[in-house]
Amino acid sequence: MNEPQKNYTNGVLMTLSVIGMKWKPLILCHLVAGPQRPAELKRVVQGISAKVLTDQLRELERDGIITRKVFNEPPHVEYAISAYGKSLVSVLGMMVKWGEDRIDFLQSNGDDVQLDYRDHEKYDI
């Protein structure tokens, strides 16, 4: 597990240290819809291994971005975006919208690039 650094040259580095480069933003995008079990996240975050998912969830929980709730009957765990983590939803929404706009730009220039689905509407941007 990555230990948080103590010194940052700017806010972008701090943000990237929390949300990372690939898996964490994808996990968070799926948690925007509501709490999910690890198996559900493994299914929707295509290509992530169980170990990497577990590590990423632990780091997001450590950083206060998500919460982990344990249920006794039936025994299971759910993860959700924390109240503090909701402050990242608009950042994620802007990333989603920018990516969708980038796809449109590339397609308008003749590039053969596809987007499986557009989901920026679920973000309040």
Please answer whether residues 100 and 115 qualify as being in contact, where contact means their C-beta atoms are separated by less than 8 angstroms.
yes
- Please tell me whether the peptide bond between 35 and the residue prior to it is cis, using omega within 30 degrees of 0: no
Distance from C-alpha of 43 to C-alpha of 54, rounded to nearest angstrom = 13
More reliable by pLDDT, 111 or 1:
111
Q: Please give the class, per CATH, of domain 11-122.
A: mainly alpha
How confident is the model over 59-74, as a mean pLDDT? 96
**Percentage, residues of the chain above pLDDT 70:** 95
Domain ranges of the chain: 11-122
| Burial class of 78 by CB neighbour count within 10 A (0 to 12, 13 to 18, 19+) | middle
* 6-10, 44-48, 53-57: least confidently modelled range: 6-10
Tens-place pLDDT, residues 107-123: 999 999 888 878 877 87
What pLDDT does 4 receive? 62
